[in-house]
């Protein structure tokens, strides 16, 4: 173990709980980072009941940069705060135990903070990889953008509709001195997970909201890439996510790997016609997908769902919903529900 009194440039904090099977891959990707910065890895065992303590101890015994700490209070936020309390670096990087980091992950953040002294909080891209190490035979990787990918264009401050995930974030230590540490009442706590319809219940979202409320900005670092293990829903779940992603992309701006779709003048025949055509294609291809669950058919159904979501938002008014919006939704929603139900719940 390295001397805890010796300063380092970067501290990477990795909270972990009952992931002894995945943690070695995460640590191996961090240990092999291509960086000239001095780095330490603080692995926080959040009351694991499996062999996680043995895995962490074994890594600490052969890599002096790895430091182990156990935090009995359940919660990712509690684990992050425990790791920060031991951190020696002025630049803090945060990730999770079920990811692997690309070789330039650390240096991408280091260079961003060097180029922009005003930046206090940043994050990078997250690309899903299948937990089973291979995608289902029917799955098209075009749909990855809708099952947990975080990707924005270029190095820049994020807009109000964009946010980062805690599995890939970095901050100057002074940020926490200024706005406080991770909120230990939020986020994952053992088997308790925040509700999907309340993003403010996640500690990473709340931290970003706190930073923005003080007049600060949250930056995107495109070179800081991690790969996150993800469950692949069945075809119906993927199509559902595709439709939702199309709607969200219209408001937030499409991700670089998302499909391309033009913006049109709202409330016009030229806007309504593409929506009608897209939704009919969606129904058709979801019906074919039920009969023939192949990659090419799935991709057509998913793209039609994504485009329909985008075109629906384009037709609706940008502010609060008015009566015309409600009429449009009453017509569109049964068609969408039909398409969704036609898509098979499971692949073959």
pLDDT score at 195: 54
Q: Are residues 298 and 149 in the same domain?
A: no
Taking the C-alpha atoms of residue 141 and residue 44, their distance in angstroms, rounded to an integer, is 33
Is residue 198 a part of any domain in this protein?
A: yes
Taking the C-alpha atoms of residue 2 and residue 209, their distance in angstroms, rounded to an integer, is 36
Q: Are residues 211 and 260 in the same domain?
A: no
Q: Are residues 19 and 57 in the same domain?
A: yes
Q: Are residues 169 and 261 in the same domain?
A: no
Is residue 178 a part of any domain in this protein?
A: yes
Please give the structure tokens belonging to residue 305: 């769902």
Its pTM surpasses 0.85: yes
Is residue 4 a part of any domain in this protein?
A: no
Q: Are residues 195 and 250 in the same domain?
A: no
Question: Do the beta carbons of residue 248 and residue 146 sit within 8 Å?
Answer: no
Question: Do the beta carbons of residue 173 and residue 181 sit within 8 Å?
Answer: no
Q: Are residues 88 and 181 in the same domain?
A: yes
Is residue 348 a part of any domain in this protein?
A: no
Alpha carbon 131 to its chain's center:
15
pLDDT score at 197: 52
The domain in which residue 331 lies consists of 236-342
Taking the C-alpha atoms of residue 204 and residue 216, their distance in angstroms, rounded to an integer, is 15
**Looking at 232, 257, 284, which one is the last position of a domain?**
232
Q: Are residues 60 and 126 in the same domain?
A: yes
Q: Are residues 21 and 105 in the same domain?
A: yes
**Looking at 232, 249, 275, which one is the last position of a domain?**
232
Question: Do the beta carbons of residue 231 and residue 238 sit within 8 Å?
Answer: no
Is residue 130 a part of any domain in this protein?
A: yes
Question: Do the beta carbons of residue 165 and residue 226 sit within 8 Å?
Answer: no
| pLDDT, tens digit (0-9, with 9 covering 90-100), for 112-161 | 999 999 999 999 999 999 887 789 999 998 999 888 888 998 999 998 88
Q: Are residues 247 and 201 in the same domain?
A: no
pLDDT score at 291: 95
**Looking at 180, 203, 232, which one is the last position of a domain?**
232
Q: Are residues 219 and 265 in the same domain?
A: no
Low-confidence ranges of the chain (pLDDT < 50): none
| pLDDT, tens digit (0-9, with 9 covering 90-100), for 228-239 | 998 889 999 999
Q: Are residues 80 and 215 in the same domain?
A: yes
* Longest Cα separation, the chain: 69
Phi, psi of 288, rounded to the nearest 5 degrees: -65, -35
Tell me how many domains the chain contains: 2
Taking the C-alpha atoms of residue 87 and residue 222, their distance in angstroms, rounded to an integer, is 25
Is residue 100 a part of any domain in this protein?
A: yes
Please give the structure tokens belonging to residue 325: 């919006």
Taking the C-alpha atoms of residue 123 and residue 165, their distance in angstroms, rounded to an integer, is 7
CATH code, 173: 3.90.550.10
Q: Are residues 169 and 313 in the same domain?
A: no
Taking the CA atoms of 105, 110, 112 and 118 in sequence, report the sign of the dihedral they define.
positive
Is residue 1 a part of any domain in this protein?
A: no
pLDDT score at 161: 80
């Amino acid at each position: 173990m390295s001397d805890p009194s010796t300063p380092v440039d970067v501290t990477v904090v990795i909270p972990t709980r009952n992931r002894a099977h995945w943690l070695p891959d995460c640590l191996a990707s961090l240990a092999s980072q291509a960086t000239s910065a001095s780095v330490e890895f603080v692995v926080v065992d959040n009351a694991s009941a499996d062999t996680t303590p043995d895995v962490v101890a074994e890594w600490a015994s052969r890599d002096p940069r790895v430091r182990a700490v156990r935090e009995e209070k359940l919660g990712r936020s509690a684990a992050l705060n425990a790791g920060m309390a031991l951190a020696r670096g002025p630049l803090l990087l945060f990730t999770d135990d079920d990811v692997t980091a690309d070789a330039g992950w650390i240096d991408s953040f280091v260079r961003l903070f060097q180029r922009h002294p005003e930046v206090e909080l940043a994050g990078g891209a997250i690309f899903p990889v299948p937990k089973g190490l291979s995608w289902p035979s029917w799955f098209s990787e075009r749909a990855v953008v809708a099952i947990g990918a975080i990707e924005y264009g270029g190095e820049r401050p994020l807009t109000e509709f964009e946010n980062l995930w805690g599995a890939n974030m970095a901050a100057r230590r002074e940020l926490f001195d200024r706005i406080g540490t991770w909120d230990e009442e939020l986020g994952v706590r053992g088997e308790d997970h925040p509700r999907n319809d309340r993003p403010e219940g996640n500690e990473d979202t709340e931290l970003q909201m706190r930073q923005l409320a003080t007049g600060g900005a949250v930056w995107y670092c495109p070179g800081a890439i991690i790969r996150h293990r993800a469950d692949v829903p069945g075809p119906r779940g993927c199509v559902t996510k595709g439709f939702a992603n199309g709607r969200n992309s219209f408001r937030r701006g499409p991700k670089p790997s998302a499909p391309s779709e033009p913006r049109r003048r709202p409330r016009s025949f030229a806007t309504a016609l593409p929506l009608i055509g897209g939704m009919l294609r969606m129904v058709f291809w979801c019906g074919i997908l039920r009969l023939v669950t192949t990659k090419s058919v799935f991709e057509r159904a998913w793209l039609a769902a994504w485009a329909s979501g985008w075109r629906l938002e384009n037709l609706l008014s940008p502010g609060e919903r008015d009566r015309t919006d409600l009429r449009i939704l009453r017509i569109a929603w049964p068609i969408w529900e039909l398409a969704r139900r036609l898509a098979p719940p499971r692949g073959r």
